[in-house]
Structure 1
């Protein structure tokens, strides 16, 4: 991920998905944009790293599979009413290893996931296997990025990996304390995984907080046991941002996997990108998220365009008209096709699930079963690539596909 080195400030800003799962009110289906969680503590340089764990650590004397190290824990933290412990398995995923900082209760839930209990499932889904579709390379003004090593088409898999590190999102530990625990977690990883993690990009450049700095620049969010955890997938972290990305990712919480697929044709040598923020937001909103969270100003083609925000306004206007089911509605298949084309022109192929959904309903509303099925299938495909099989939105299109003519939208606009 892109992360220029800047001077240290007193607040680490960690990117995560909103806890409240904010619903964009201009759409009739959910979209979950990235927001920021601020974790603040003193960085006045009066205290150095604690490399040796001392009296504040409480050891859990009984441990076993899947953990290969005795868990070490904090005292009870008031805000979560529990302690946080470092759980490491060097045997996880055929020796790739993983370190997790979480509560004892949630650690049991992690241990019960198929990712831990069924190695054959990881193998069957080719998780942690190289695809030979990309290489890491230095990119002007972006640091390290990911370039395609061969032409890619829609839905081609770019990466699919398990994380090296996860940590429950909290704001109670001081920056120095958090670094101590996070460093312990990284130190216990297998040598190769540790090296890959420590080789990732960072934001501030202060070695005293190196692990937190790396997490800031490379984190994704995953919810396990009802609590948000920050997660780092080293390979995926090579992907830079664009507001018109040519790839999309999905996180499978059962397998703890992060999978990236192409959303449009990608030429050999072309950079592969994902979006760090909601590309459906206007320019100012996107920049206001990216600047404090990742410390850069996006200069992609959409952010330098004088017409991109106008196009977004038109997209929102068309969606509102298509979502109008009154007798005077002007929604039509032609309007839906215009909506789809605008998404493609903006490079939003990975975020077309809502647009495909409107198209499915528009065709159903005029009694065109073929068109309705076509776009309901595309809406499903887009949801699976972006939100996964757990998305409630998937049920909407499965219901329509079961019997288009029995759907509430059938012939509503004839």
Structure 2
């Protein structure tokens, strides 16, 4: 990694001069890899940060080793599907083939055993849903190294699939220290501890031991209470037909204060990969009471987070861009003050 002065010009800056006393400059610096594969106790193989990684850095971008139409997964008998999958994986060129068959499974250690059952077990454990477009059939993809990333209920990475390039992109959602494990969420983390553990055990055969799941019992109880509050707020805030005066008289939690509380709860739960969802609701609530400045601030934060973890072509991002461009022309303008007359709110999927 090339070290540059904190202040001053960079390469090609006329104001930047160097003498023999300066640090030597590398003409062709070789970038330091962001991660390395390591054996992790209790988790088999995972990825560790090989150097500090800053929030917003793209850690990797990969095309699938194997991609399968979801309709075939549902329609074919397991034996037939496993046979086709084995043939596809076995035809991969080296080293891709070896990397695929070395991926971990829920069924014990793997290796160079390329039996049909082995390929199916690897697929069942490591496949991502990678839809090409809304309304299109699901695709299931296995990646050689992205599939090595283990689960965490407070993940420090997030991913999205770019259908234009058939590329799965992994980004850091927080600053990551050297030696820290890279994690993504296999499940919706907005669930209580018991629900998360049950789902992970049912689908992947392990119990989560991340920092969030390893809290003392009294802190787990507090975390669960925050989760239930988040779930309740998402329900009330996504009802765009309830005007603020009516909500206040009925003790229904909507409005900017509710949106601010949602953002706070996301932060306390470490839901950094989902923060765009909270900022999206907050932007609408501020716009819903006619505060264009605060609505624009929240919309900008939503765009910053959403572009990082969902890519550019998402309906909710278009919605936020429209709000930023002209808050008063946006469908949400003063909708909480209009006695429920504006019911055409766009409940876009921000997940």
Range into which the TM-score falls when normalised by the shorter chain: 0.7 to 0.9
1:382 aligned to which of 285, 305, 315: 305
Whether the aligned pair in 1 keeps the contact of 2:32 and 2:51 (CA below 8 Å) is no
CA distance in 2, matches of 1:326, 1:295: 45
CA distance in 2, matches of 1:249, 1:224: 15
2:107 aligned residue: 204
4+ aligned runs moved over 4 Å, structure 1: 320-324, 411-414
Whether the aligned pair in 1 keeps the contact of 2:51 and 2:178 (CA below 8 Å) is yes
SS state of the match for residue 311, structure 2? coil
- 1:315 equivalent in alignment to 2:315: no
1:217 aligned to which of 116, 119, 125: 125
Q: Once the two structures are superposed, what CA deviation does each residue of 1:172-196 show, in whole Å capped at 9, x if it has no partner?
A: 4444433332222122211111111
CA distance in 2, matches of 1:258, 1:306: 35
Structure 1 residues 151 and 266: alpha-carbon distance in aligned structure 2, compared to 1, 3 A threshold: same
CA distance in 2, matches of 1:413, 1:144: 50
Shifted more, 241-250 versus 378-387: the winner is 378-387
Structure 1 residues 316 and 227: alpha-carbon distance in aligned structure 2, compared to 1, 3 A threshold: closer
Normalised TM-score (structure 1): 0.63
1:249-268 equivalent positions in 2, closer than 5 A: 249-268=159-178
Whether the aligned pair in 1 keeps the contact of 2:157 and 2:174 (CA below 8 Å) is yes
Greater helix content = 2
1:370 aligned residue: 293
1:333-344 equivalent positions in 2, closer than 5 A: 333-344=256-267
Q: Once the two structures are superposed, what CA deviation does each residue of 1:286-309 show, in whole Å capped at 9, x if it has no partner?
A: 233211211111222333422221
2:90 aligned residue: 187
1:139 aligned residue: 40
1:327 aligned to which of 226, 231, 245: 245
Q: Once the two structures are superposed, what CA deviation does each residue of 1:262-302 show, in whole Å capped at 9, x if it has no partner?
A: 11111111111000001113334323321121111122233
- 1:231 equivalent in alignment to 2:134: no
1:160-179 equivalent positions in 2, closer than 5 A: 160-169=61-70, 170-179=73-82
1:92-111 equivalent positions in 2, closer than 5 A: none
Q: Which runs of 5+ in 1 are unaligned?
A: 1-129
Give the count of matched residue pairs: 285
CA distance in 2, matches of 1:389, 1:276: 22
1:281-320 equivalent positions in 2, closer than 5 A: 281-304=191-214, 305-320=220-235
1:405 aligned residue: 328
CA distance in 2, matches of 1:349, 1:178: 37
CA distance in 1, matches of 2:207, 2:148: 18
CA distance in 2, matches of 1:360, 1:171: 40
In the TM superposition, what is the alpha-carbon distance from 1:337 to its structure 2 partner? 2.6
Q: Which runs of 5+ in 2 are unaligned?
A: 1-30, 215-219, 249-253, 338-351
Normalised TM-score (structure 2): 0.74
2:340 aligned residue: none
Whether the aligned pair in 1 keeps the contact of 2:63 and 2:166 (CA below 8 Å) is yes
Q: Once the two structures are superposed, what CA deviation does each residue of 1:182-238 show, in whole Å capped at 9, x if it has no partner?
A: 222122211111111111111214854111111111110123593322211111011
SS state of the match for residue 270, structure 1? coil
Structure 1 residues 230 and 410: alpha-carbon distance in aligned structure 2, compared to 1, 3 A threshold: closer
